[in-house]
Chains A and B, each alone.
Chain A
Amino acid sequence: MSTLNLNELVRQAHEQNNYDPLISLIPYAKLLGIECLRLGDDMVFRLPANQDCIGNPTLPALHGGVIAGFMEHSAMLHLLMFMGIPHLPKIIDFSIDYLRAGHYRDTFVQCQVWRQGRRVANVAITAWQTNQTEPIATARAHFKVDEP
């Protein structure tokens, strides 16, 4: 997966409005079942309800780590798609606040890049299920975005 290849894949995905080839590049994203929905200039990421993502069996609720992993990967994809970064951003740190239980149903994520410097990007990530105004978790992450 060369630099050129990744740029080309992003361009094709935007053009054809089909992000599956980009997502299926990353085995972990396939394991979780992450999907990408383009709404105008916005990108919403979706994690369809999946038995394999359950942590707490009594509610049942999604595993907190799955929610975090989904949010982290969404932020990475968001940077890749919108910030013109020709390689996979590298995670520096990740901090998540769990606000509500993630129930066994579809989860959505949207990202906001607050700052992209030459070397580091700061991304805020919000996850929700029923309503965007009632997030189940918020997170922030720093990524290294310069050449590896």
Chain B
Amino acid sequence: MSDSPILERAQRFLSVLRHCQVLGMSVHSAKPDGLILRLPYSPQIVGNPETGVIHGGAITTLMDTTCGISTVCVLPEFEICPTLDLRIDYMHPAEPHKDVFGFAECYRVTPNVIFTRGYAYQDDPSQPIAHVVGAFMRMGKSAQSGKGVTASIQGGGQ
């Protein structure tokens, strides 16, 4: 699989998630070995008005989405993969007025479950603001409602 179909599929996936559009999230990079999404800083996602630090919930949304969409990096065709569970460890608060990036990779793919892990960072990926692990259920291609959306994310006229 070359990189660009993965990027296109990740972008299409993100574009149908209304809440992610509200937060202004975008795909920073999408490769077979992992996905990076960007969450721009905005006053509406502030969790502490005294400091301007963004809310943990916005980081959770970023990381749930990043882990969920990272499944397109390893699956040959688009499948709906609902989140089974997600755990976030906060290393330190995000710095205000700076965008947050979320990286995620799938480290184990089974016929039923995909295990993902990742981290959120601002300037330096080696100084993450949060670490994340999440498991996603594979629903398979046959068990999908809303074929139209699935096909539009898959792309390539499938």
Q: Footprint of B on A, CB under 8 Å? A: 1, 25-32, 51-59, 62-66, 68-70, 72-73, 88, 90-98, 101
Distance, CA A58 to CA B18, complexed state (A): 11
With a CB–CB cut-off of 8 A, which chain B residues contact A59?
145-146
B19:A66 contact, CB within 8 angstroms: yes
A93:B18 contact, CB within 8 angstroms: no
Q: Footprint of A on B, CB under 8 Å? A: 16-20, 22, 43-50, 54-58, 60-65, 68, 80, 82-90, 93, 144-146, 149-150
- Sample (11) of A-B pairs whose CB atoms are under 8 Å apart: A26-B47, A28-B54, A28-B57, A28-B58, A55-B17, A55-B20, A58-B146, A63-B65, A66-B19, A69-B60, A72-B60
Pick from B19, B43, B144, B146: contact of A63, CB below 8 A. B19
With a CB–CB cut-off of 8 A, which chain A residues contact B65?
55, 63, 65
List 5 additional contacts besides A65-B60, A66-B61; criterion CB under 8 Å: A26-B47, A27-B55, A28-B44, A58-B149, A96-B60
A101:B82 contact, CB within 8 angstroms: yes
Pick from A26, A62, A95, A96: contact of B55, CB below 8 A. A26
